Structure 1
Amino acid sequence: MARAYSAYPSSRRPKRIGATFLLLLASVASGPVPAQSPARQPASAPAATYASPADIYGDLFAAVQMRRIFADGKTFADAVPRRAPAAILRDYRAGDFANDAALKRFVLDNFIVPAEAAPAPSAGGEQARPPLTTHIAMLWPELTRQPVRPEPGSSALAVPAPYVVPGGRFREIYYWDSYFTMLGLTRDGRDDLVESMIDDFVALVERHGHIPNGTRSYYLSRSQPPVLYLMIGLSKTRNPAVQRRRLAALRREHAYWMRGADTLRPGGSAYHVVAMPDGSLLNRYWDDRDSPRDESWREDVLVAREAGRPSGEIFRDLRAGAESGWDFTSRWLGDGRSLATIRTSRIVPVDLNSLLHGLERAIAEDCARLADRACARDFAARADKRKAAITRYLWDAAKGYFADYDIDHKRTKGAVTAAALYPLFTGVATQAQASAIAGATHRWLLAPGGLRTTTVTTGQQWDSPNGWAPLQWIGAEGLRRTGHAALARDIAQRWLRTVAREYRASGRMLEKYDVEDIRPGGGGEYPLQDGFGWTNGVTRAFIAAYPDLQY
């Protein structure tokens, strides 16, 4: 169910934030790209060419978020001004809004605030529910949105063609979600939406130089796991002009992820790139800003208060965690437990580098298909070098699985997570490695309701006991592709039973599930969402891949 947008009772909120604190928050958000630490970031960071709501509304934005005028921080970030922002700010600064009700009234008078998201349609009473595949097919129109031409002052980004949203509070298109959603669209014959969504993402690369986390101005400083090449792999288009345009977008996306690589010496890092001790290049998650996220402003400020480290470091690592899609998880935490110890940008993740290997191979193959031999040789060599570096630094031979690399401690982090299956999915793992990972998966990651995300319980949503649709697909497909068909089938079976059990009980498709107790998932910064794009897509794809399974 989507989160309600009514304010909390005033007795549970601070009455007024001190002027000094508001000025501090405003100053944190005032610069498009704050100064970077020279040890971790080149001084010549590119200038931002956008403004987020926090930039535009400064102390008003900070007050609305910190006083929790709306229960979901994304609400005000998505609001549209009814008049010029400068006039709104002038009137705000001239007024007295110490009372929360008065501040909320001011916001509602001056902004069009998004309505609470309606729950996705449930499929009638338990006895009258249609088959799961029928329900999923009926949800696609409910989740489809038309092209976007942003209103003046909106945080929305332009989107030229129809697309599918995840659902709930996620009212715009999101990057990595969309690939898993497309898996279901293709099985339901919605190639029109697959093609239009690919066109949308290509247009975003052409306009912004990369695909943002989602189509909001406040997401532009980061991306998400690079899966555009996987989306293009679902396309049935054979038009050479379209293929060349899409290849150009892939090459530009790759350049975004490799920005700053030519400045590095062994042990250095710049933006998304890390030079390993032998000089080979791998990647990390990163965000160009080191201020609180607009959509989770209050949450980020409160985490930074606890951290005992420079707030800019905390904010950037929270943002980088959001770029990973695993927001949040013990993978990014220094102590493995507390969000205040987050250090995402000091970790080289196995999933990101596996996907970038896949991207490099895809570019090489597309270049060869279009007779660009120099490009094909270049990217094939890049992929080979990345594979060697992944094997050297991210493979833990003693434990028998791939793991994230800790830059500061110069070793793998050790914990087994579902990210260990990405090298099987993208062709990085050898057959021997795949067999070892299959054993580790069966031993530690296989839960009653599907694949565990991690083996630890922290209260973060990308940890145990939650299971997530994208990881079920990556894991099962990776195992199937490397000869472990029985285990892949078992994962699909368990996941389908989990999804079907909740569907029979409530008629809903959920964002995440508890795969230990086979029930709705929990944890995270916002309530459990339904809809839900990638769950629909992966579930539909599993049903198509294993039509004889009983669920």
Structure 2
Amino acid sequence: MKLLIHRDKLIELLINQEDTTGSYTITVEDHGKKSLIVDNINGEPVTIEGTYYLANLLQETALLNEETGVVNLEHVFEAPVTRLSRVIKDYYWDKLTRSFDDDGLLEVLEDEKMQGDYLRLYVPESDINALQFYKKKTEKHSHVKVEAIPENISKELILALNQKPGILSLAYSQIQGHSRPFVVPGGRFNEMYGWDSYFISLGLIIDDKFELAQSMIDNLEYQIIHYGKILNANRSYYLSRSQPPFFSSFIKEMYTAYAFDLPEGWLKQKLCTAITEYFNVWMTKGVRLTENGLNRYFGEGQGAPSETEPGHFDAILKIYAKKHNLPLEEFKAKYDDKQLIDEDLDMYFVHDRSMRESGHDTTNRLDGCSAHLNTVDLNSLLYKYESDIAYFIEHCFDDNFTFKGETFSSKDWYERANHRKGLMDKFMWNKEMGCYYDYNFKTQEQQPCSSASNFYPLWANLCSQEQANKLLNHLPEIAFKGGIVSTARLVMLPEDMPDRQWDFPFGWAPHQMLIWEGLENYDFHEKSQELIYRWLWLIVKTAVDYNGLIPEKFDVFHCTHEVNVEYGNVGTNFKYVPDGGFGWTNASFKLGVKLLDEKYIKLLNAVTDPDVIFK
């Protein structure tokens, strides 16, 4: 059943009748008629009633490419799970895909974060073909500058680039004559992010977007080869900062799904790159490897991070201004110009940069201490990294793998993983509490905090079944109606500190996904099903009530996307149709639906309250 409609006229009618809040969307907050009668293509009247179905009609109409066209009523009346699954696969991934080819380059460069008179694209000087390609492509754009970055990326270079920030190029194929596309998180995040890319690609693989997922991993590999690490994102001011290490996990997901589709030599090449990242980024003593043999996040660089908004650090800077008996603005000016030195404040920014490298930007769990912590999440990820490399060597390379003249067996890497597990049990496992906690190697004490990151050992298959059973007892501390919260409610926070988006009551897609899979690893199926349902219910409820909206994060305690917190909530502002949703939230929906038992899908389509199901 179909409608033959005039796109602009129907949009105008829907907005005028239903959008009483002036948002260019149809939501539960609007107080329109909530009903519209239209004639189908055979001239028969069809009644469309309710926020959800009217919003679907608005979206389907807005998606028409021509002024007059046909709207499929099956799409208008789709069940929510079916609809979200379809639009993510057929529309949202494409909407979030970027490239550096032709007009795509300007789409990446021309965003709110660019500064100065020129749009700058930085290309590694070692990638000669790409450098020539981009210079030729941008000849007609006088406001675009293509500049080379030397192989030796020094602290001095990074500081200099902060004065003229720009985008860093990604993989370029000389044979195909174009850059490799990538998927961005969405909203103001118009570049490729490190750990986002892994979670996004789980969704791409589920939707069988083979070429796009392959391109994503090629772009991450390019960063390791040419920029020395997988970057926080491909902007010049992120050159000093990596993100949580998921590269080996990405390789394993790709190989498991597409072993027979990948080119010959693909796995060996990617494994060599993974080992390079492991040693050069994570196992460098005094940087991210600490004396006790465990690892920390460590964002290099100096001063306040360049990506923060004006006034972000005022609550902290007021403390130091008072210490130096100066007005806030005068203190900031003198500190920025290095007229005034304060080593404690310098160290605070080292911790802040390290916190941002963890991906948890920001959280009071890591504020002011991150560079002194061996965190449970990072060391679990590196255990998984070591285990993955051992697995590949054992099962795909006859237990013999040569890297830069050194021969490895699986035993070498299993020993590394087991050694790390022993250190984590020694320093991080709290026998009395039955939980892993971050370890402060400066104070030589655990830092007890109920956090989603304490459950990473389940996902990494690191802990024993006995430890897993004890960890499960702590799940109620962070599990709420809408899913997993980043940290439990913290008490005794400093005055004037901003609410931080990786703290209570906010929940994020990666934590949900890691904990679901971790629970399944240890046969806690019923609990994983409950948590999957709670998160998917919140996504579906939000999409049904708010014109298909899929945001960056949720308040999982109050079960809403409306948050009053630093940076707001990305993905919530759009006109008629969601602008691609949000990358890893899309992916969490795809993974959740894949893992959820069929008996819950019908309940999810009816948006049945989880507290009714899981009493």
TM-score normalized by structure 1? Answer: 0.71
Matched position secondary structure for 1:249: helix
Is the Cα–Cα contact under 8 Å of residues 529 and 597 in structure 2 kept in the other structure? no
Quote how far apart the aligned CAs of 1:259 are: 4.4
Q: Deviation digits for residues 286-322 of structure 1, max 9, x if unmatched?
A: 1111222111163465355235463221221111111
Quote how far apart the aligned CAs of 1:463 are: 0.7
Write the mapping of 1:201-350 to structure 2, written as runs, cut at 5 A.
201-235=220-254, 236-237=258-259, 238-261=262-285, 270-276=286-292, 281-296=293-308, 298-299=310-311, 302=314, 304-308=316-320, 310-333=344-367, 342-350=368-376
Question: What residue identity is the alignment partner of 1:135?
Answer: V
Quote how far apart the aligned CAs of 1:249 are: 1.0
Structure 2: how far apart are the matches of 1:489 and 1:456? 24
Task: Tell me the equivalent position of 2:592.
Answer: 542
Matched position secondary structure for 1:331: coil
Write the mapping of 1:380-419 to structure 2, written as runs, cut at 5 A.
380-419=414-453
Structure 2: how far apart are the matches of 1:300 and 1:516? 25
Structure 1: how far apart are the matches of 2:77 and 2:356? 36
**Where does structure 1 lack aligned partners over 5 or more consecutive residues?**
1-121, 262-269, 334-341
Task: Tell me the equivalent position of 1:172.
Answer: 191
**Per the alignment, do residues 375 and 156 of structure 1 end up closer, same or farther by CA in structure 2, a change over 3 Å counting?**
farther
Task: Tell me the equivalent position of 1:357.
Answer: 383
Question: What residue identity is the alignment partner of 1:354?
Answer: S
Quote how far apart the aligned CAs of 1:155 are: 1.2
Hey, which of these two has a bigger chunk of helix by percent? 1
Is the Cα–Cα contact under 8 Å of residues 228 and 281 in structure 2 kept in the other structure? no
Structure 2: how far apart are the matches of 1:535 and 1:297? 24
Structure 2: how far apart are the matches of 1:293 and 1:166? 20
**Per the alignment, do residues 523 and 354 of structure 1 end up closer, same or farther by CA in structure 2, a change over 3 Å counting?**
farther
Aligned: 1:501 with 2:541: yes
Quote how far apart the aligned CAs of 1:239 are: 3.8
Q: Deviation digits for residues 29-86 of structure 1, max 9, x if unmatched?
A: xxxxxxxxxxxxxxxxxxxxxxxxxxxxxxxxxxxxxxxxxxxxxxxxxxxxxxxxxx
Structure 2: how far apart are the matches of 1:502 and 1:297? 28
Question: What residue identity is the alignment partner of 2:584?
Answer: W
**Per the alignment, do residues 249 and 543 of structure 1 end up closer, same or farther by CA in structure 2, a change over 3 Å counting?**
same
Q: Deviation digits for residues 385-406 of structure 1, max 9, x if unmatched?
A: 1011111111111111111112
Structure 2: how far apart are the matches of 1:439 and 1:521? 30
Quote how far apart the aligned CAs of 1:240 are: 4.3
**Per the alignment, do residues 405 and 123 of structure 1 end up closer, same or farther by CA in structure 2, a change over 3 Å counting?**
farther
Structure 1: how far apart are the matches of 2:277 and 2:300? 16
Task: Tell me the equivalent position of 1:152.
Answer: 146
**Per the alignment, do residues 425 and 275 of structure 1 end up closer, same or farther by CA in structure 2, a change over 3 Å counting?**
same
Structure 2: how far apart are the matches of 1:482 and 1:423? 11
Aligned: 1:134 with 2:80: no
Structure 2: how far apart are the matches of 1:316 and 1:129? 52
**4+ aligned runs moved over 6 Å, structure 1:** none
Quote how far apart the aligned CAs of 1:129 are: 6.9
Matched position secondary structure for 2:539: helix
Quote how far apart the aligned CAs of 1:234 are: 1.7
Q: Deviation digits for residues 162-183 of structure 1, max 9, x if unmatched?
A: 1110001100010101111111
Q: Deviation digits for residues 258-308 of structure 1, max 9, x if unmatched?
A: 3432xxxxxxxx1111122xxxx1111111112221111634653552354
Write the mapping of 1:413-492 to structure 2, written as runs, cut at 5 A.
413-441=447-475, 443-456=476-489, 459-492=499-532
**Per the alignment, do residues 129 and 303 of structure 1 end up closer, same or farther by CA in structure 2, a change over 3 Å counting?**
farther
Is the Cα–Cα contact under 8 Å of residues 406 and 413 in structure 1 kept in the other structure? yes
Is the Cα–Cα contact under 8 Å of residues 485 and 556 in structure 2 kept in the other structure? yes
**Per the alignment, do residues 299 and 348 of structure 1 end up closer, same or farther by CA in structure 2, a change over 3 Å counting?**
farther
Q: Deviation digits for residues 428-463 of structure 1, max 9, x if unmatched?
A: 11000111111210x312100101211125611111
Q: What is the total number of aligned residue pairs between the two structures?
A: 409
Indicate the percent of aligned positions where both proteins have the same amino acid. 29
Is the Cα–Cα contact under 8 Å of residues 123 and 135 in structure 1 kept in the other structure? no
Structure 1: how far apart are the matches of 2:269 and 2:456? 27
Is the Cα–Cα contact under 8 Å of residues 292 and 300 in structure 1 kept in the other structure? no
Structure 1: how far apart are the matches of 2:587 and 2:438? 28
Is the Cα–Cα contact under 8 Å of residues 176 and 224 in structure 1 kept in the other structure? yes
**Per the alignment, do residues 390 and 257 of structure 1 end up closer, same or farther by CA in structure 2, a change over 3 Å counting?**
farther
Is the Cα–Cα contact under 8 Å of residues 209 and 252 in structure 1 kept in the other structure? no
Question: What residue identity is the alignment partner of 2:487?
Answer: T
Structure 2: how far apart are the matches of 1:360 and 1:321? 23
Quote how far apart the aligned CAs of 1:523 are: 4.9
Is the Cα–Cα contact under 8 Å of residues 374 and 441 in structure 2 kept in the other structure? yes
Structure 2: how far apart are the matches of 1:407 and 1:297? 31
**Per the alignment, do residues 241 and 395 of structure 1 end up closer, same or farther by CA in structure 2, a change over 3 Å counting?**
same
Task: Tell me the equivalent position of 1:67.
Answer: none
Is the Cα–Cα contact under 8 Å of residues 512 and 521 in structure 1 kept in the other structure? no
Quote how far apart the aligned CAs of 1:152 are: 2.5
> Higher mean Cα deviation, 486-495 or 153-162?
153-162
Hey, which of these two has a bigger chunk of strand by percent? 2
Matched position secondary structure for 1:222: coil
Task: Tell me the equivalent position of 1:522.
Answer: 563
Write the mapping of 1:32-71 to structure 2, written as runs, cut at 5 A.
none
Structure 2: how far apart are the matches of 1:434 and 1:196? 36
Matched position secondary structure for 1:544: helix
Structure 2: how far apart are the matches of 1:489 and 1:402? 23
TM-score normalized by structure 2? Answer: 0.64
Task: Tell me the equivalent position of 1:513.
Answer: 554
Is the Cα–Cα contact under 8 Å of residues 271 and 389 in structure 2 kept in the other structure? yes
Give the number of the structure whose alpha-carbon radius of gyration is greater. Answer: 2
Selected match of 2:202 from 166, 175, 183:
183
Q: Deviation digits for residues 142-194 of structure 1, max 9, x if unmatched?
A: 00111467243661111121111000110001010111111111111111111
Structure 2: how far apart are the matches of 1:206 and 1:129? 48
**Per the alignment, do residues 405 and 523 of structure 1 end up closer, same or farther by CA in structure 2, a change over 3 Å counting?**
farther
Task: Tell me the equivalent position of 1:80.
Answer: none
Matched position secondary structure for 1:298: coil
Quote how far apart the aligned CAs of 1:210 are: 1.0
Structure 2: how far apart are the matches of 1:375 and 1:156? 39
